[in-house]
Structure 1
């Protein structure tokens, strides 16, 4: 893990705090610090940090550091260092704090993956703004004896891990995402004969960190059991991890996945149409999930349907094109073969929009 600390360099207490974190985390985190933007840009380009930790409020250079991090898809953690405490906020509020708050300080708060407050009063103050609820409290051992430097370092490190365990799809490369689709296919087919040598080698080629992210994402999307079955079918030894004990952030408006069909229909053709109708309703509310796509592909791999009847039913419901787009989505996310598709797949702009809705389910 590579952490780049940034602060403007004017506050001696912040400088001491950053040095303290660098020292206590030296054995398990690769950390550096920057105090000016040119140094920050150089470190981002050459060192490629996993997280940028911004310190202190009311400095425009901190906002510029955010812009550089955001442009390169680097996550950032923000520590106000008590500068959002109510008594400080009241000082020169209308002449200084209010303009800065709404020009850039608000954006720093809103876009942070996590905000580390140093006390409950500051945490409550930040929460009351309503701009970001991802707030952690870690006391400053330089000003209180209620926590040691070692414990403070461990708690901040836990926040870093929580940030990197959130919205993990963005941290997965194309190869790992393809490996996930192959594992889903194997987990639904329940037979390795359906997996080509090329597909098998893609899964074989991913590393330990890739496995962790793949499995964590599967857990968060409620498809872990299928992925685990796929790994077992393909005889991969995977990490034994209790994901219920792994901390991560979910979007503020996160919704759990609900099945598309709650009961089986004796007519498989009508059940397929029912699933398509339910998916269409979900997509209109931007609530279609990866778990729903697996439900659809699992049904198509096992059900016996009549293409002509389905085509007629879909035409009557004006869902023919939407069903075709879902076939493409199922192919992309679960490696569903053309032979299982009762309608021709459609890959167009609307299809890509459906895929974006699905992939944004866990987006922070």
Structure 2
């Protein structure tokens, strides 16, 4: 169940009526009081805060925000979606710079829709919000399981991860499936789970919000590690790019000395030692495959942050 907390300004009876109609269809809570808002956030820990109209900027919470401006002509920060009441309002908001705009009409102000249709569309928005940036919602146990699963997939043999078996049961299979889809590693996830004899997550269709200009990551395959480092330099670090460097490092044709010469020639020393550190963390690359010692430095931290945050909105 997605826990939604509606917040709205005092003395706005129309908005209050609309919210309570929604609450009859979607299990949620609502308040127009800042103190109660803080209490509900602390005790109930909502997944989504849905802000209707203008509320005090001090109303902050560690949750995903959806905003219904209700005529406000201002920009908003740190939101996942903006809900416009009409196509005209959507155009106005778009001109103001708003992104991820959904048009959902209010049955109290138009006869074009009823509350059932409105609630269904609103629930779809909430689900899209919760499908977005899935890594941020993953429990540590699920995050810890992923490198083991991927390493088992790369080698095709669970003996490579014997010391890390059994891994915790995955309590968030849908999030793991969504994340692997967005990272372009679904086939690896399936193979790794199969190698480990673990249950496959359901491959249900999903919608989510994505950063502008997002494309499913791809990568150079084969053994050309310099080309792969070029790819990371140009297009950023992703799991699939790390996987393919891992595969190249463990291939029978790989030559450490030759690689280090090429890295020196291409001035990739700083990048490569940081990539090795990320490979160690994200895919548990064994030390025997390190052509040189990895380094955890400012460049590594930047790559780590890029990897963790590139699906953020």
TM-score band, normalised by shorter chain: over 0.9
Asked if 1:133 corresponds to 2:124, the answer is no
4+ residue runs of structure 1 moved beyond 3 angstroms?
Answer: none
Structure 1-normalised TM-score?
A: 0.81
Q: State the partner residue of 2:14.
A: 13
**Deviation of the 1:3 alpha carbon:** 0.8
Q: State the partner residue of 1:77.
A: 66
Match of 1:120 among 69, 82, 87: 87
Judge conservation of contact 1:52–1:77 (CA < 8 Å) in 2. Answer: yes
Judge conservation of contact 1:323–1:343 (CA < 8 Å) in 2. Answer: no
Question: Aligned partners of 2:213, 2:58: CA distance in 1, in Å?
Answer: 28
**Deviation of the 1:255 alpha carbon:** 4.1
Q: State the partner residue of 2:226.
A: 273
Q: CA RMSD in A?
A: 1.8
Classify 1:123/1:277 alpha carbon distance in 2 versus 1 (closer, same or farther; 3 Å). Answer: closer
Question: Aligned partners of 1:277, 1:80: CA distance in 2, in Å?
Answer: 44
Unaligned runs of 5+ in 1: 85-100
Question: Aligned partners of 1:216, 1:193: CA distance in 2, in Å?
Answer: 27
Secondary structure of 1:179's aligned partner: helix
Figure out how many residues of one structure are paired with residues of the other and give that number: 312
More helix by share: 1
Question: Aligned partners of 1:166, 1:36: CA distance in 2, in Å?
Answer: 29
Structure 2-normalised TM-score?
A: 0.93
Judge conservation of contact 2:174–2:202 (CA < 8 Å) in 1. Answer: no
Asked if 1:224 corresponds to 2:186, the answer is yes
Asked if 1:311 corresponds to 2:242, the answer is no
In the TM superposition, 1:90-239 aligns within 5 A as: 105-106=74-75, 109-130=76-97, 132-197=98-163, 199-202=164-167, 204-207=168-171, 210-239=172-201
Question: Aligned partners of 2:211, 2:252: CA distance in 1, in Å?
Answer: 35
Judge conservation of contact 1:24–1:153 (CA < 8 Å) in 2. Answer: yes
Kindly provide the CA deviation profile for residues 56-110 of structure 1, in whole angstroms up to 9, marking residues without a partner as x. 13x4x1x222xx12xx2x11111122x14xxxxxxxxxxxxxxxx6xxx42xx24
Judge conservation of contact 1:189–1:301 (CA < 8 Å) in 2. Answer: no
